[in-house]
Amino acid sequence: MMKSAVKWRVSYMPQKINWDDVAHEAETGKIYRADYKDKHGRTVLVLRPGLENTTSGKGQIKYLVYCLEKAIMNLTEDQEKMVWLTDFQSWTLGSTPLKVTRETVNVLQDCYPERLGLAILYNPPRIFESFWKIVKPFLDHETYKKVKFVYSSDKESQKIMADVFDLDKLDSAFGGRNPATFEYNSYAERMRADDIKMGSSFKSNGITLPQDHSHVSADKEANGGGSDASRALKMVKLD
């Protein structure tokens, strides 16, 4: 898993994506990093697939990768996993093309192994059951175990939210007491600050990003050889 992830990082160079590259994808708040962590110190990514605003699968995946990079960068020193919190408001079967869904699963499982701590699907509509039956085979067993269905009308499943989150910080859309909502301009400022922080982190560690890595062989990439793969190992903490 680590070899595959490092090979992908060498070719995709996810750390080179900056806010201005993906800002248009973020306009509706379909994915964003919450300004709070869960009780375990895990970064929280909020996903609202019903607010999809573009049609380019490539662009959507690029924005997802950007969000994952920033989520990992903001983990506490003793934490390596994140939480995905999905709100199904306005979601329909047409909101999320199956091809993009499958690519999303592949990115999470293959490119960011062991980074997911918990995925909460909040108030999925009944029609989602059909979609879930199609998606479920894409998930490996370990990922599947981390997926929890939570319903606002079910007191038992609501206990999951109270156990995982500080309800004073959690968005009201997920049963918390925080009335704040996604605000694009302020979020853009946060992300630009993250871009600067990430760039400073590379410089402080003496890492320079290569402009051309086409000369690195697949064997070197997979086994950690070559300067590009060595840099990639420094850029990502993999279990």
pLDDT per position as a tens digit, 149-160: 999 999 998 999
Question: Is it the case that residue 13 has pLDDT exceeding 90?
Answer: yes
Per DSSP bridges, beta strands 116-122 and 147-150 are parallel
Question: Is it the case that residue 1 has pLDDT exceeding 90?
Answer: no
DSSP 172-238: GGGT-SB-----HHHHHHHHHHHHHHHHHHHHHTT----S--TTS-HHHHHHT-HHHHHHHHHH---
Bridge partners of 120, per DSSP, are 85, 148
Query: How far are the Cα atoms of 120, 129, 198 from residue 116, in angstroms, in the given order?
Result: 11, 22, 21
Question: Is it the case that residue 68 has pLDDT exceeding 60?
Answer: yes
Question: Is it the case that residue 235 has pLDDT exceeding 70?
Answer: no
Please give the pLDDT value at position 204.
55
Task: Give the DSSP H or E segment for 60.
Answer: helix 57-73
pLDDT bracket for residue 96 (50, 70, 90): confident
Q: What average pLDDT does the chain have?
A: 86
Helices 2-12/226-235 angle, 10° precision = 110
Tokens 């408001």 belong to residue: 89
CATH architecture of 1-185: 3-Layer(aba) Sandwich (3.40)
Question: Is it the case that residue 84 has pLDDT exceeding 70?
Answer: yes
Please give the pLDDT value at position 239.
37
Bridge partners of 27, per DSSP, are none
Q: Which residue has the higher pLDDT, 1 or 105?
A: 105
Please give the pLDDT value at position 198.
87
- Total-model pTM: 0.84
Mean pLDDT of 44-64: 96
Is residue 117 helix, strand or coil? strand
Q: Where are the domains of the chain?
A: 1-185
Question: Is it the case that residue 206 has pLDDT exceeding 60?
Answer: no
Residues with Cβ within 8 Å of 204's Cβ and at least 6 positions away in sequence, in order, are: none
Task: Fill in the amino acid letter for 231.
Answer: R
Closest alpha carbon to 135 in 93, 81, 80: 93
Q: Which residue has the higher pLDDT, 224 or 169?
A: 169
Question: Is it the case that residue 227 has pLDDT exceeding 70?
Answer: no
